[in-house]
């Protein structure tokens, strides 16, 4: 299992290097092949994973890195990580396929960075060492920066967007680093000066901190993760970055990169600082709810369709955070489900917009629209994914939204005390869910506004349509449909059988929920011994968060 995990990270990175050193005209073919090959270890992981014991970090293995500081290359995955990795691997070939004709120049660098990004993202989800996590977390910025800056749509704005994206998220995560290092320092002091950055150990250390310290650590963690999510009011980098990024960049950004933030909430904010998390959950929930409605209403008045979808991510991720803040099994399961399903439907929406942009070189809904009469297949997919995003039952948006909202709703302290059969948690309550539920109505408003403009009505095409890209036919090509179909199937599957996804994460979610509600992790991880020189020791028995 350990080897599978290592391969998950290593294959895309190595392939990326090969592409960078290889020939320009071979770049995209190699990338496609590599993205499929990278999926093999993930498949292996999915098959080898022991679902009966999904809360345990399986395939634990570590390698010396900087032993003086206790930093090791340590990996291991639980159910949540596994599914997020699977999502990342699924999006890999799709991103390559979506870039097939869109990227015409400097393909080597483009595909190399794309694959490196994939490796780094998997690294984030698989890391069990704080520093490895952080390095991967930060490394994702670099490929994304390049993708936006070099391959973005508008030559002027893309530089601005890339810079803002980089500086904004980087600034936030530096504070996170400070918080993590502080926790590691406290951990080293408790462990007679021996440093260790093992996540399981440090989680226990942080949980043992007094309230004020936890609050500060939580603040530091949130500084990075909330920006990444992004939570209102630190969201403004996202619309800009999304709008300028190339299609595949947007897909990855929406599909996985934003989930690094919610994953951080789940893995760190909940587990390390449970009591502070519980204390501040209502405040954060208010931010999430404000974000849901505020961003939703902003969507409604956008003219750039990509910006609209970008803002819709802000709104949607608000639900995701809300589910985590509810801190009960329904809410947190829904939230993890949201991480997965949002990647599919919003990623697909970005693909749709990308396909349109490739043909018309504009995203302005005032100049292009009514495409259903010219691109019926495209419009069909567009309506499908929009409905997935609206949260239509039977598609992927619904289970996650439903569970997040039920989780929020049932998490009422009075109800829990009164012993209502369906109440659990105690941090939020029905009013939060009711107000957040308005976001469902707002989502319908802006997404239907978008579909109404861009798919329906009289055909509107930009005046300079003479420079229509004639490499592409009017409607979708077989390649484009092939890219979309897996996502569509995924949307349907998630919608009709969410149990297949909530089961593998149930145990991890349970651990997280108990941690927050009781303030302490069920299992404490013993401090690791002073650094020893064993190259690769896979001790599968090591449990804990």
Partner 1 sequence: MTTLAADAAHSAVTSGPAWAILIPAFPILGFALAGFFAATGNKNKLPALATVVCLAASFVTTVLLYFAWKDAGGGAMTVKAWDWFDIGSPGADFVASFSFYIDSLTIYWMLFVTGLATLIGLYASEYMSHDVGLGYCRFFAAFNLFVFSMSCLVMGSNLVMLYLGWEGVGLCSYLLIGYFYKKPSAVAAAKKAFIVNRIGDLGLALGLYLTFVHFGTVEYADLFANEKLLTYVDAAGRGAFHEIPVAAQGIALLLMVGAFGKSAQFPLYVWLPDAMEGPTPVSALIHAATMVTAGVYLVARFYPLFLTSQFALPIVAWVGAITALLAATIGMAQFDIKRIMAYSTVSQLGYMFAGLGVLTPTGGAYHVLTHAFFKALLFLACGAVMHGFAGQLDLRKLSGLWRVKGWMVVTIGMFVGCINLAGVPFTAGYFSKDTIIAECFVTPGAGPIGWILLFTAFLTAYYTFRVFFRVFMGPTEYHAGDDLHDAEAAAAHDEEVEHEAETGDHHFHPHAPGWAINSVLAILAVCSIAATGLYFVGGGKVDVHGHEVKAKHYAQSMVLQSTAAYVTPYDHHAFHPDDHSGDHANADHAEEPPAGVEPPERAIERPVFEPDVTDTIAPEREADLREALTHHVPPPAGVGPQGSIGEPLSFFGYDPHKAMYYVSGGLGALGILLAAALHWVGRRDAAHCAMDGIAKRFGPIPRWAENKWYVDEFYDSTIRKPLLAVSTWVFAAFDRLVIDGLIVNGFGYLPRIAGSLIRPTQSGRLHAYASGMAVGVLVLMLIVVLVLVRTGGLS
Instruction: Select from 210, 421, 529, 541 the one that contacts partner 1 (CB under 8 A).
Output: 421
Instruction: Select from 92, 172, 370, 528 the one that contacts partner 1 (CB under 8 A).
Output: 370
- Taking CB under 8 A as the binding criterion, the range among 19-27, 280-288, 450-458, 525-533 that sits at the site for partner 1 is 450-458
Shortest distance in whole angstroms from residue 472 CB to partner 1: 20
* Cα dihedral 54, 57, 59, 62 in deg (nearest 10): 180
- Comparison of 109 and 169: residue with beta carbon closer to partner 1: 169
Shortest distance in whole angstroms from residue 306 CB to partner 1: 16
- Comparison of 365 and 402: residue with beta carbon closer to partner 1: 402
The full 3-state SS of 119-172, as one line of letters, equals: HHHHHHHHECEHHHHHHHHHHCHHHHHHHHHHHCCCCCHHHHHHHHHHHHHHHH
Shortest distance in whole angstroms from residue 54 CB to partner 1: 12
Instruction: Select from 17, 43, 66, 438 the one that contacts partner 1 (CB under 8 A).
Output: 438
Cα 158 vs. chain centroid, distance in angstroms?
Answer: 22
Beta-carbon contacts of residue 47 (< 8 Å; ≥ 6 apart): none
- Taking CB under 8 A as the binding criterion, the range among 69-77, 87-95, 241-249, 449-457 that sits at the site for partner 1 is 449-457
- Comparison of 89 and 293: residue with beta carbon closer to partner 1: 293
Distance between CA atoms of residues 483 and 38, nearest Å = 17
**Distance between first and last Cα of the chain:** 18
Say how many C-beta atoms besides its own lie within 10 A of residue 320's C-beta. Answer: 30
- What angle, 0 to 180 degrees and rounded to 10, lies between the N-to-C axes of helices 107-126 and 2-21? 160
Q: Is the peptide bond before 230 cis (omega within 30 degrees of 0)?
A: yes
* DSSP string for residues in 328-375: SHHHHHHHHHHHHHHHHHHHHHHHHHHHHHHHHS--BTTTSB-GGGT-
* Cα dihedral 306, 468, 480, 355 in deg (nearest 10): 0
Q: How many residues bind partner 1 (CB under 8 A)?
A: 66
Which H or E run contains 272? helix 271-272
Binding to partner 1 by residue 168, rule CB under 8 A? yes
- Comparison of 112 and 241: residue with beta carbon closer to partner 1: 241
Binding to partner 1 by residue 455, rule CB under 8 A? yes
Site string for partner 1, 204-243 (x = CB under 8 A): -----------------------------x-xxx------
Q: For binding to partner 1 (CB under 8 A), which residues are involved?
A: 164, 167-168, 233, 235-237, 294, 297-298, 300-302, 329-330, 333-334, 370, 372-373, 376, 383, 387, 392-394, 398-399, 402-403, 405-406, 409-410, 412, 415, 420-424, 430, 433-434, 437-438, 440-441, 444-445, 448-449, 452, 455-459, 496-499, 502-503, 506, 510
């Amino acid at each position: 299992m350990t080897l599978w995990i290592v391969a998950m990270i290593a294959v895309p990175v190595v392939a990326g290097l090969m592409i960078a050193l290889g020939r320009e005209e071979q770049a995209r073919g190699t990338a496609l092949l590599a993205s499929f090959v990278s999926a093999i270890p993930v498949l292996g992981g999915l098959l080898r994973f022991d679902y009966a014991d999904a809360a345990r970090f399986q395939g634990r293995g570590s390698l010396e890195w900087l032993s003086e500081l206790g930093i090791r290359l340590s990996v291991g995955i639980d159910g949540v990580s596994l599914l997020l990795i699977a999502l990342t691997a699924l999006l890999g070939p799709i991103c390559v396929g979506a870039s097939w004709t869109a990227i015409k120049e400097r393909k080597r660098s483009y595909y190399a960075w794309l694959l490196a990004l994939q490796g780094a993202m998997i690294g984030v989800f698989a890391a069990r060492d704080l520093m490895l996590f952080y390095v991967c977390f930060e490394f994702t910025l670099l490929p994304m920066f390049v993708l936006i800056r070099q391959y973005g749509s508008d030559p002027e704005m893309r530089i601005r967007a890339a810079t803002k994206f980089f500086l904004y998220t980087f600034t936030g995560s530096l504070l996170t680093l400070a918080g993590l290092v502080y926790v590691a320092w406290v951990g080293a002091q408790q462990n007679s000066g021996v440093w260790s950055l093992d996540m399981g150990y440090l989680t226990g250390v942080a949980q043992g901190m007094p309230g004020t310290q936890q609050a500060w650590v939580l603040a530091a963690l949130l500084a990075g993760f909330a920006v990444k999510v992004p939570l209102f009011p630190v969201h403004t980098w996202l619309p800009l970055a999304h709008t300028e990024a190339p299609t595949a960049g947007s897909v990855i950004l929406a599909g996985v990169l934003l989930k690094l933030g919610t994953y951080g909430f789940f893995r760190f904010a909940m587990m390390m600082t449970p009591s502070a998390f519980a204390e501040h959950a209502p405040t954060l929930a208010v931010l999430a709810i404000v974000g849901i409605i505020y961003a939703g209403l902003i969507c409604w008045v956008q003219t750039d369709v990509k910006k609209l979808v970008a803002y819709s991510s802000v709104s949607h991720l608000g639900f995701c955070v809300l589910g985590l803040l509810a801190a009960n099994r329904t809410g947190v399961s829904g939230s993890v489900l949201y991480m997965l399903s949002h990647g599919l439907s919003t990623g697909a929406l970005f693909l749709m917009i990308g396909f349109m942009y490739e043909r018309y070189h504009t995203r302005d809904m005032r100049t292009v629209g009514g495409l259903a009469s010219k691109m019926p297949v495209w419009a069909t997919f567009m309506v499908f994914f929009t409905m997935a995003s609206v949260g239509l039952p039977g598609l992927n948006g619904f289970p996650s939204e439903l569970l997040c909202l039920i989780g929020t709703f049932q998490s009422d302290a009075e109800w829990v005390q009164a012993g209502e059969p369906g109440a659990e948690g105690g941090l939020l309550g029905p009013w939060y869910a009711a107000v957040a539920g308005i976001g469902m109505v707002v989502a319908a408003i802006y997404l239907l506004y978008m579909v109404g403009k861009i798919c329906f009505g009289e055909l509107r095409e930009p005046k300079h349509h003479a420079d229509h890209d004639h490499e592409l036919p009017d409607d979708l090509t077989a390649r484009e449909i092939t890219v979309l179909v897996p996502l569509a199937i995924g949307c349907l599957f998630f919608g009709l059988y969410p149990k297949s996804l909530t089961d593998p994460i149930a145990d991890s979610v349970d651990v997280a929920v108990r941690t927050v509600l009781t303030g302490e992790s069920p299992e404490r991880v013993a401090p690791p011994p002073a650094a020893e020189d064993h190259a690769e020791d896979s001790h599968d028995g090591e449990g804990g968060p």
